[in-house]
Structure formats: structure tokens, C-alpha cells
Amino acid sequence: MQSKPNPEIYFKTLTELHLAAAECLAVEDSYYGIAAAKNAGIKTIAYQETRMKIDQSNADVCKEYVRSAQIR
């Protein structure tokens, strides 16, 4: 299996769980994780990384506390 940002892991998981990307939400903290989820068509919450300067701008939402996130 190829590593992220290749979305293969997400496609495999969607297939095994019999889910569509629109039924799922990915929580990621890395640029490559966000890219993989987005490339699989999955809405993405970025768990805000404050220790390092990581580009999380491609996520649908970026939150320090995922519990408070809302995606439409």
C-alpha cells in the first residue's frame, strides 16, 4: 500500500466498510494526511498543530479542539 498523500488507504477503508466518501469525516493533523483524505473525496477536519508550522489550509475545518468542529 502506498503512503499518504496517496488516498489508497482511504479508498481501501471505504470499500471494506461499504461506505461512500460523503458518509465519512477524516480527522488529520498533517499536510499529507489532509491531502490523502481530500483526494479520496472525504471532508476533513484538521486537528490544529501548534508545535510545528504545518500547512493545514486544505482541510475543510481546522480546530484546536475537534469536539467543537462543525462541517456542512
pLDDT in tens, 21-62: 999 999 998 999 999 999 999 999 998 877 778 889 999 998
Measured CA to CA, the distance from residue 59 to residue 57 in angstroms comes to: 6
CATH code where residue 24 lies: 3.40.50.1000
Residue 6 or residue 52, greater confidence: 6
Within-domain flag for 48:
yes
pLDDT class for 65, splitting at 50, 70, 90?
A: low
Within-domain flag for 51:
yes
Q: Which domain holds residue 54?
A: 8-68
Within-domain flag for 22:
yes
Within-domain flag for 42:
yes
Within-domain flag for 2:
no
Q: Provide the domain count of the chain.
A: 1
The CB-based long-range contact list for 43-46 (8 Å cut-off, 24+ gap) reads 43/71, 45/69, 45/71
Contact (CB, 8 A) for 14 and 20: yes
pLDDT class for 71, splitting at 50, 70, 90?
A: low
